[in-house]
Amino acid sequence: MSKTDTIAAIATGMSSGGISIIRISGDEAIKIADSVYRSKNGKKKLIEQASHTVHYGYICDGELIVDEVIVVIMKGPHSYTREDVVEINCHGGMLVTRKILETVMKYGARMAEPGEFTKRAFLNGRIDLSQAEAVIDVINAKNQYALESSLQQLKGSVKDTIKKIRESILHDTAFIEAALDDPEHISVEGFSETLLQRVNGNIKELQDLLQSADNGRILKEGVKTVILGKPNAGKSSLLNALLGEERAIVTDVEGTTRDTLEETIQFGPVMLQLMDTAGIRETQDVVEQIGVQKARNSANQADLLLYLVDASRPLDDNDTQIMEFLKEKMDQSKVIILLNKQDLKQVVTKDALAEKLEVITKHSCKMIPISAKNEKGMELLETEVKNMFYQGNVTFNDQVFITNLRHKEAIIEGLESLEQVKESIACHMPEDFYSIDLMQAYESLGRIIGESVEEDLVNKIFKEFCMGK
């Protein structure tokens, strides 16, 4: 570790609470803490205390007592940043918290930049870049699955997988370079077949990671869900039932919803990015036409389509139009058909709908009877959504999920380079051609863990962090 200046920041939320924590990190962290700390029992200075110990006393600015505190000291390299770290636990009022931070800065620390503590952990080799990004994902996790995935990445699941592939690539590259430098003692005869086998193995692992990216996005961001149906089918009532509040206007007037309403909700263990759309129908109303087109555009980007059928009214041309649209989307989006208004006399049955929409059987499309008005059938819908996207339960023991777009792009580049190696082998190109593309793959994957990354990108990543982390 190189000598660095000492930084400080408030590490807890910027609001009143039971306690607040001011974090200090750097070569002078303990010395600065000693300048403002007074032990209640007159014990020796903090610099003389053992690492990972807790001390009770006061923070003082000269003779003025600022607050009664508990101070934790953690000496490098056994700390979050691998530097000397001091954490001052004080009363949770914002005034006193800011006063302590100002006092610490008065005696030599400077204000930390956003994410600078985690950035130092990365620069000092405690964590790699994928783990650093997982820190902010843990903080921003909006559901249990996203949290578990982020914690797995924080433990090093992505790092370990990428390092294993890079080590294999580096081993083959080193052998080729050594053989080219010393052809009298190192033969490359038959090496192409061996290399092809290993490259195919690495491609398979990277393809598995790439295939996990869509699931990873859903874990992190939620299922993009669009509610479709003809006017007055009960779409806004369904949105309100899922939200548990009157978010959308509900009336008996067709075409009330003319724009998309977007909400993020926790639906059991699953997070939904929910969009209520205008009823799809032929209309002369210019504003409603725009809403219908936006509904179609939203559906084109959806992971899940909820087709809401008004089971109390006969199917009509509007339903036919929606069904034709669904037939086009069923190969790329998951679909659940909801037979709404079960509280009224039923006109549309499951069998009649299945006959009308013959692709239901082909795609194993689920039909669930509900009453959005009375919030009936929501449990069945929740179970079905969970089974559709998470096969009932998600485990993180073996599978690594890619949740970061930057990682996905690097994996795609790495795959392209390894495919180029395969092509060179097939064309019986000289071995030095192999090493060029192997090293390109090595560099691309290195960007994921931060071993081959520009300083500007590192700074950009850590600017997304909150202050004090």
What integer is the mean pLDDT of 204-219?
83
Whether 458 is in a domain gets the answer no
Cβ(74)–Cβ(85) under 8 Å? yes
Whether 60 is in a domain gets the answer yes
Cβ(209)–Cβ(411) under 8 Å? yes
CATH code for the domain of 271: 3.40.50.300
Assign 184 a pLDDT band (cuts: 50, 70, 90): confident
pLDDT at 260: 55
Check whether residue 237 and residue 376 sit in a common domain: yes
pLDDT at 250: 43
Whether 462 is in a domain gets the answer no
From 122, 148, 183, give the residue that closes a domain. Answer: 122
Check whether residue 233 and residue 375 sit in a common domain: yes
Range of the structural domain that residue 318 is part of = 222-390
Q: Among the listed ranges 12-21, 76-85, 247-256, 431-440, which one has the minimum average pLDDT value?
A: 247-256
Q: Among the listed ranges 1-10, 231-240, 292-301, 312-321, which one has the minimum average pLDDT value?
A: 292-301
Cβ(90)–Cβ(59) under 8 Å? yes
Q: pLDDT tens digits for 127-175? A: 999 999 888 888 877 777 777 778 888 888 899 999 999 999 999 999 9
Max Cα distance, the chain (Å): 88
pLDDT at 254: 44
CATH code for the domain of 171: 1.20.120.430
Check whether residue 82 and residue 139 sit in a common domain: no
Q: Among the listed ranges 25-34, 229-238, 370-379, 452-461, which one has the minimum average pLDDT value?
A: 452-461
Check whether residue 359 and residue 259 sit in a common domain: yes
Check whether residue 281 and residue 297 sit in a common domain: yes
> Is the pLDDT assigned to residue 396 strictly greater than 90?
no
What integer is the mean pLDDT of 261-285?
70
Whether 48 is in a domain gets the answer yes
> Is the pLDDT assigned to residue 405 strictly greater than 50?
yes
> What whole-number distance in Å separates Cα of residue 109 and Cα of residue 33?
10
Written in H, E and C, the secondary structure of the chain is: CCCCCCEEEECCCCCCEEEEEEEEECCCHHHHHHHHEEECCCCCCHHHCCCCEEEEEEEEECCEEEEEEEEEEECCCCCCCCCCEEEEEEEECHHHHHHHHHHHHHCCCEECCCCHHHHHHHHCCCCCHHHHHHHHHHHHCCCHHHHHHHHHHHHCHHHHHHHHHHHHHHHHHHHHHHHHHCCCCCCCCCHHHHHHHHHHHHHHHHHHHHHHHHHHHHHHHCEEEEEECCCCCCHHHHHHHHHCCCCCCCCCCCCCCCCCEEEEEEECCEEEEEEECCCCCCCCCHHHHHHHHHHHHHHHCCCEEEEEEECCCCCCHHHHHHHHHHHHHCCCCEEEEEEECCCCCCCCCHHHHHHHCCHHHHCCCEEEECECCCCECHHHHHHHHHHHHHCCCCCCCCCCCCCCHHHHHHHHHHHHHHHHHHHHHHCCCCHHHHHHHHHHHHHHHHHHHCCCCCHHHHHHHHHCCCCCC
Check whether residue 237 and residue 328 sit in a common domain: yes
Check whether residue 256 and residue 191 sit in a common domain: no
Whether 231 is in a domain gets the answer yes
> Is the pLDDT assigned to residue 26 strictly greater than 80?
yes
pLDDT at 257: 43
- Residue % of the chain over a pLDDT of 70: 87
Whether 457 is in a domain gets the answer no
**Which CA distances in Å does 88 have to 45, 53, 114, 460?**
15, 12, 19, 29
Check whether residue 258 and residue 305 sit in a common domain: yes
Q: pLDDT tens digits for 66-117? A: 999 999 999 999 999 999 999 999 999 899 999 999 999 999 999 999 999 9
CATH code for the domain of 90: 3.30.1360.120
- Residue % of the chain over a pLDDT of 90: 40
* Residue 100 CB contacts under 8 Å (≥ 6 apart), including other chains: 22, 36, 59, 66, 67, 69, 88, 90
For residue 218, give the amino acid letter.
I
> Is the pLDDT assigned to residue 42 strictly greater than 80?
no
pLDDT at 391: 58
Check whether residue 267 and residue 337 sit in a common domain: yes
pLDDT at 237: 86
What integer is the mean pLDDT of 391-419?
79
Q: pLDDT tens digits for 339-358? A: 999 988 888 888 777 777 66
Whether 282 is in a domain gets the answer yes
Check whether residue 239 and residue 354 sit in a common domain: yes
From 99, 122, 145, give the residue that closes a domain. Answer: 122
Total number of domains in the chain: 3
Check whether residue 372 and residue 253 sit in a common domain: yes
Assign 253 a pLDDT band (cuts: 50, 70, 90): very low
From 83, 104, 122, give the residue that closes a domain. Answer: 122
What integer is the mean pLDDT of 222-235?
84
Name which residue leads in pLDDT, 293 or 98.
98
Check whether residue 374 and residue 228 sit in a common domain: yes
Whether 466 is in a domain gets the answer no
